[in-house]
Structure 1
Amino acid sequence: MEQPLSWHEFEKVEMRIGTIIEAADFPEARKPAYQLVIDFGSEIGIKKSSAQITHRYQKDDLVGKQIIAVLNFPKKQIGKFMSECLVLGSLGTDNDIVLLTSDVKVTNGLRIG
């Protein structure tokens, strides 16, 4: 286990709830991935992300799903695609990603903490 974070350090990580509004194939990615468009509400707006979640999820099943993402990491260029946030997930038993989601529909943009 890594060195423990202080509460002050944890508060710097801006994790928020967003709803996936589009999911598309990302054939240029080195590992199978989707390009996601995520709505984080009126104050934050729409952000894009690349996610290696093709093993467990179909594109049609992702649209409308609320997920948790980190918004204050630097943007990352992946091929011709600019990823603007990091969608969070846990490593499943088959080395696939299981998205972190809300079990109750909440307002997009709510902060996790």
Structure 2
Amino acid sequence: MTGTTMTAAPVRGIPVDPPPAVVSPVVYLLHFDQAYRHAGHYTGWTSDLRARLADHAAGRGSRLLAVVRAAGIGWRLARTWPGGRDRERALKRQGGASRRCPLCGVRPRLTVGGEDRR
């Protein structure tokens, strides 16, 4: 798609300057501008982050994001981690997405070699 430009402000969840498409799997955390019922975040994984964010912005790919879009609630990409489905499942099993969200005031831990230093 030539000639496509991003607007100066986020539009329904698409960041102003989305990160370049990634080849390796990445887990991502989306922060909702306001909670939708019980949900304030969405965690997913993809091998093409830019395309996946565009799908979410169009209301495709996730029922929760489609409902959030229909409710007029915006969202932002809050954080990413290296890894695929296994990492996504591990993060979801831990629960508490707001504890990992820098937009909720949480500061990510320093990492060494992609793993948390504890």
Do Structure 1 and Structure 2 share a fold, with TM-score over 0.5? no
Query: In proportion to residue count, which structure has more strand?
Result: 1
TM-score scaled by structure 1?
0.29
TM-score scaled by structure 2?
0.28
Query: In proportion to residue count, which structure has more helix?
Result: 2
